Amino acid sequence: MAGNEAGHGAIVRNRDLIDVWIEAPRGNRKQVVYEKILSLIDITDEPSKHLKKNNDEFLFLIVMTPLRLIDMETNKVLWKNESPSSTLYCRPIKFLFKKENADLVRNTEKEIITKIENTIPIEIKTKEGHSYIIDVDMMLTMLDGIVGDVLSETNSTMKCIICGATPKDMNTLAGINRPPNVDNYRFGLSTLHCWIRFFECLLHIEYRLPIKSWQVRGPENKAIVEANKKRIQAEFRAKLSLLVDNPKPGYGSSNDGNTARIFFHNPQTSSDITGVDRELIEKFAIILGVLASG
């Protein structure tokens, strides 16, 4: 509030963010699971339960970030978060070294909503004698895909939580006209997988450019595509320090959000490596930037 003393009765409009992920390798670093004694501070636990043996393989994190500061008398916006979808202003309010599941997500939602409902206005008085009443308006948003599926009661990770479309529906023009569930707008828009899927779409096109065909048939074509894939992987490693399309033990691949962003933020280098037109990469990046702009 210091520096924003132009109005009385200012309200800080916040959005309470739940962001959940499984701790995984970032960039080119290998994940190391440290077995150690961790003091897990959870206000719902007994003090005797705070100290427990655990590991940091999984991390469930709840954070809060401000969106706007408004003078309620004049309705003037005193401050606005210009990057609402970014983690720049995120402040952690709770860490849990637990693997996400439906029960954990639902219990955490109930706990956070209870805290929001019990929030009361705060009065602040300055040395100059000014009095400010700060009220807080919070919402649960910026969820990752799995958490969004649980809270929206979507019974499949392959379905859109807004319109319920499946991959099959998305490949038909009729799918565009599916009615949205406007109640689920409150969960925000998670664009992480958009970045990854756009990146992988171009990546798979790049592998097949030498044979000019989407389907790879015959041992000769398979050998050509595999050789091109290895060349592309090696060049990304050498020029951008990226591990591209490398399988990870147990699940998934090295294609994560950071890898995709570096790819799209370096369109010329990515084009030189892959042979995909730079303009196409830039247009994809513009679409993704708009989706992530909040």
pLDDT at 27: 37
pLDDT at 222: 92
The answer to whether 133 and 122 are in contact (CB under 8 A) is yes
Positive/negative CA dihedral, 48, 54, 58, 63: positive
pLDDT at 194: 87
pLDDT at 202: 93
pLDDT over 80 (residue 60): yes
The more confident residue out of 72 and 35 is 72
* pLDDT, mean over the chain: 78
Q: For residue 6, with 0-12 CB atoms within 10 Å meaning exposed, 13-18 middle and 19 or more buried, which class applies? A: exposed
Over residues 64-70, mean pLDDT: 88
pLDDT over 50 (residue 10): no
pLDDT over 60 (residue 16): no
pLDDT at 294: 60
Q: What is the per-residue pLDDT across 196-222, written as a single tens digit (0 to 9) for each?
A: 999 999 999 999 989 888 888 899 999
The residues facing 17 across adjacent strands are 63, 141
The three-point CA angle 93-97-99 to 5° equals 115
202 three-state secondary structure? helix
The more confident residue out of 30 and 48 is 48
CA-based end-to-end distance of the chain? 24
pLDDT at 250: 63
- At 102, is the pLDDT very low, low, confident or very high (cuts 50, 70, 90)? confident
pLDDT at 192: 80
Taking only Cα atoms into account, the Rg of the chain, rounded to an integer number of angstroms, comes to: 23
Over residues 285-292, mean pLDDT: 88
Q: Are strands 35-39 and 51-55 parallel, antiparallel or unpaired?
A: antiparallel
